């Protein structure tokens, strides 16, 4: 039996940008486009040409893609021809092979939001789609509020779809714009639409997550016969977001009945990229990745319950619905539970530290980790600090130098131009090879801007390490993250520092204190010590 083709339509760059706090730059959009194209989606909706400078610049700059590049716009306004509608013209001028036009299909909205007659709206849909076809484009009609419209007035909602169909639209997309429709209703209504004569292989589904069922609504529509799914990466989108393509894609590719019956443009190899793509998007948006995301979250295959974790070690399929590597993700067994010791040995061996099974040091290390984590440390991310802690416990941590004291001063006052400016100064006193070293640095960067006390401290610490100095010359701080791990006035700060060196190594260290400068210093110190351990080994 040959498989039916199911098409994937990504609208991260258009509807995804409606997320509160999200504003892509043109270069962000180009980078996301390249990732989507490599993933294998069929359509990329790039934005609304003419609506803002970023979207217009994007369509000017984007290279040819395998995916069909699509410009979004709206059906022409009443009282003018499609040819004379400047908004529609701007959309067509982007020169994309596909054009997706949103229009009304709910009688209430035609009257309330547009204030035109029901017939005028139908004519606007027909004429706009016909105009796109006449220009040689593939046309999609986004039927806004379709499900609410169908429930209120099914005849009119269907009339709007037929106007687009008759005018030659390749796809008619059923939109649950307000996100309130449940999967069972979507299945029922799509079944009725197909029975009314719009074939499923010309129907798309566009859902929102306002009842936390956008993914299920998309699948319900496919079950009923729809053959195009619209969604966004990580479920970005207005309000509660759009349907999350990174949850839908693995299900379509890996699970029955979809795997046997339907074919998408996503190869098994491309599927292994979804976890990375999810993190890449968070990185662009400077968001903390959500750990619990289906398939791609860092906790998606994390087993905490003791019984689960020990069963997993026997046979992963006991508590995993798929193999994590299929989506480029990995299994996590926290060290703090019963299955911890064998997992700990594995992690230490990855760091080049061999400990025999049953060595009492294993229990000691687990105990220290547990106590530190209760104080606010987190070793899931700070692998380098974890390694130092383990080496300390087993007596394999050389004491390269000793910190005798440090002092940081932050001062804010008027400069000679009568402008308030800040400057930080740090003094670090170390003992290296029996010799006392005093180093002082300030927080100014090359441009003369103040980078704050942690910057000054970092420079002073790395200024004179005696015989070790040359080993740390190629090291630099690349990221700094801070989190308050206890709220209220007893706030405790956790600092995570990422460092990099000339050999392309990158490592993370952690510090915790009620004093944010102390927490930072602790993480900086670990960063230097890890580098020395590696380079003197």
Touching a second copy, residues 97-156 (CB under 8 A):
109, 112-113
Which of 136, 434, 488, 504 touches a second copy by CB under 8 A?
488
Name which of residues 460 to 479 contact a second copy (CB under 8 A): 476-479
* 75 contacts a second copy (rule: CB under 8 A): no
> Which secondary-structure segment (H or E) carries 311?
helix 306-314
Name which of residues 213 to 242 contact a second copy (CB under 8 A): 213, 215-217, 219-220, 223, 235, 238-241
**CA 200 → CA 179, 192, 225, 244, 449, distances in Å?**
21, 11, 5, 21, 60
Stretch that binds a second copy, among 36-44, 195-203, 290-298, 467-475 (CB under 8 A): 290-298
- Give the residue among 160, 165, 128 at the shortest CA–CA distance from 144: 160
What six digits make up the tokens of 516? Answer: 């944010």
Supply the DSSP string of 141-197, one letter for each residue.
EEEETHHHHHHH-HHHHHHHHHHHHHHT-SEEEEE-TTS---HHHHHHHHHHHHHTT
Query: Is residue 178 left, alpha or beta, with left meaning phi > 0 and alpha meaning psi from -120 to 50?
Result: alpha
Sheet containing 476-486, strands listed edge to edge, beginning at the edge strand earlier in sequence: 476-486, 492-500, 506-513
* 289 contacts a second copy (rule: CB under 8 A): no
- Give the residue among 88, 84, 85, 53 at the shortest CA–CA distance from 71: 88
Check: CB of residue 353 under 8 Å from CB of residue 389.
no
Name which of residues 25 to 44 contact a second copy (CB under 8 A): none
Residue 67 to residue 184: CA distance in whole angstroms: 31
How many residues make contact with a second copy (CB under 8 A)? 110
Which of 69, 408, 430, 533 touches a second copy by CB under 8 A?
408
User: By 3-state DSSP, what share of the chain in percent is helix, strand and coil, each rounded to 5?
Assistant: 45, 20, 35
Which of 178, 188, 342, 396 touches a second copy by CB under 8 A?
178
Nearer to a second copy, 188 or 396 (CB): 188
What six digits make up the tokens of 275? Answer: 């976890």
Nearer to a second copy, 163 or 220 (CB): 220
* 206 contacts a second copy (rule: CB under 8 A): no
Report the nearest approach of a second copy to the CB of residue 343 (Å). 14
Q: CA gyration radius for the chain? A: 29
* 482 contacts a second copy (rule: CB under 8 A): yes
Which of 56, 70, 128, 251 touches a second copy by CB under 8 A?
251
- Tally of CB atoms within 10 A around 199: 12
Report the nearest approach of a second copy to the CB of residue 17 (Å). 9
- Give the residue among 116, 114, 110 at the shortest CA–CA distance from 146: 110
Which of 422, 439, 464, 501 touches a second copy by CB under 8 A?
422
Name which of residues 433 to 452 contact a second copy (CB under 8 A): 443, 449-452
* 66 contacts a second copy (rule: CB under 8 A): no
Stretch that binds a second copy, among 12-20, 65-73, 117-125, 343-351 (CB under 8 A): 12-20
Nearer to a second copy, 411 or 433 (CB): 411
What six digits make up the tokens of 409? Answer: 């001063």
* 459 contacts a second copy (rule: CB under 8 A): no
- Give the residue among 89, 94, 90 at the shortest CA–CA distance from 45: 94
* 290 contacts a second copy (rule: CB under 8 A): yes
Report the nearest approach of a second copy to the CB of residue 81 (Å). 22
Report the nearest approach of a second copy to the CB of residue 418 (Å). 12
Report the nearest approach of a second copy to the CB of residue 67 (Å). 23
Which of 16, 40, 453, 511 touches a second copy by CB under 8 A?
453
Check: CB of residue 415 under 8 Å from CB of residue 435.
no
- In terms of DSSP bridges, do strands 492-500 and 506-513 run parallel, antiparallel, or are they unpaired? antiparallel
Which of 84, 261, 267, 318 touches a second copy by CB under 8 A?
318
Query: Is residue 433 left, alpha or beta, with left meaning phi > 0 and alpha meaning psi from -120 to 50?
Result: left
Residue 449 to residue 74: CA distance in whole angstroms: 46
Name which of residues 492 to 511 contact a second copy (CB under 8 A): 493
Which of 38, 116, 280, 311 touches a second copy by CB under 8 A?
311
- The answer to whether the peptide bond before residue 257 is cis (omega within 30 degrees of 0) is yes
Nearer to a second copy, 355 or 454 (CB): 454
Report the nearest approach of a second copy to the CB of residue 413 (Å). 4
Report the nearest approach of a second copy to the CB of residue 226 (Å). 14
Report the nearest approach of a second copy to the CB of residue 299 (Å). 5
Residue 497 to residue 216: CA distance in whole angstroms: 39
Report the nearest approach of a second copy to the CB of residue 91 (Å). 15
* 4 contacts a second copy (rule: CB under 8 A): no
* 377 contacts a second copy (rule: CB under 8 A): no
* 398 contacts a second copy (rule: CB under 8 A): no
* 381 contacts a second copy (rule: CB under 8 A): no
Report the nearest approach of a second copy to the CB of residue 131 (Å). 21
* 325 contacts a second copy (rule: CB under 8 A): no
């Amino acid at each position: 039996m040959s498989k039916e083709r199911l098409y994937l339509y990504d609208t991260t760059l258009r509807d995804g940008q409606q997320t509160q706090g999200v504003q892509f730059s043109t270069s962000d959009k180009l980078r996301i486009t390249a990732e989507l194209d490599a993933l294998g989606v069929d359509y990329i909706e790039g934005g609304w040409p003419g609506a803002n400078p970023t979207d217009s610049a994007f369509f000017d700059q984007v290279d040819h893609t395998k995916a069909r590049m699509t410009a979004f716009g709206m059906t022409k306004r009443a009282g003018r021809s499609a040819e004379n509608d400047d908004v529609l013209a701007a959309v067509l001028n982007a020169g994309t092979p596909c054009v997706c036009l949103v229009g009304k299909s709910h009688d209430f909205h035609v009257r309330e939001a547009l204030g035109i007659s029901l017939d005028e709206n139908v004519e606007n849909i027909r004429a706009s789609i016909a105009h796109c076809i006449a220009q040689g484009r593939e046309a999609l009609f986004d039927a806004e509020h379709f499900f609410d419209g169908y429930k209120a007035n099914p005849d009119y909602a269907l009339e709007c779809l037929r106007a687009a169909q008759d005018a030659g639209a390749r796809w008619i997309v059923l939109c649950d714009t307000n996100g309130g429709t449940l999967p069972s209703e979507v299945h029922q209504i799509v079944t009725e639409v197909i029975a009314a004569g719009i074939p499923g292989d010309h129907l798309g589904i566009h859902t929102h997550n306002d009842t936390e069922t956008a993914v299920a609504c998309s699948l319900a529509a496919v079950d009923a016969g729809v053959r195009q799914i619209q969604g966004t990466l990580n479920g970005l989108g207005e309000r509660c977001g759009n349907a999350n393509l990174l949850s839908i894609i693995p299900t379509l590719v890996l699970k029955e009945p979809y795997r046997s019956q339907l074919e998408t443009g996503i190869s098994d190899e491309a599927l292994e990229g979804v976890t990375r793509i999810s993190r890449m998007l968070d990185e662009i948006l400077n968001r903390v990745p959500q750990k619990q995301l289906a398939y791609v979250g860092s906790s998606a295959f994390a087993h905490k319950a003791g019984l689960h974790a020990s069963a997993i070690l026997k046979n992963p399929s006991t508590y995993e619905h798929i193999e994590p590597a299929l989506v480029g993700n990995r299994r996590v067994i926290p060290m703090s539970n019963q299955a911890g010791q064998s997992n700990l040995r594995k992690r230490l061996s990855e760091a080049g530290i061999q400990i025999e099974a049953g060595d009492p040091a294993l229990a000691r290390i687990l105990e220290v980790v547990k106590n530190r984590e209760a104080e606010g440390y987190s070793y899931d991310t700070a692998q380098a600090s974890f390694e130092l802690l383990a080496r300390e416990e087993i007596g394999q941590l050389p004491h390269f130098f000793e910190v005798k004291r440090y002092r940081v001063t932050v001062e804010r006052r008027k400069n000679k131009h009568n402008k308030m400016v800040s400057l930080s100064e740090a003094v670090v006193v170390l003992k290296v090879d029996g010799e006392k070293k005093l180093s002082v640095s300030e927080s100014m960067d090359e441009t003369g801007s103040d980078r704050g006390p942690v910057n000054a401290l970092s420079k002073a610490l790395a200024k004179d390490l005696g015989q070790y100095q040359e080993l740390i010359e190629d090291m630099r701080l690349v990221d700094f993250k801070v989190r308050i791990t206890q709220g209220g006035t007893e706030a405790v700060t956790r600092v995570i520092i990422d460092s990099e060196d000339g050999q392309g190594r990158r490592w993370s260290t952690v510090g915790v204190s009620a004093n944010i400068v102390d927490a930072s210093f602790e993480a900086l110190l670990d960063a230097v010590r890890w580098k020395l351990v590696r380079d003197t080994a």
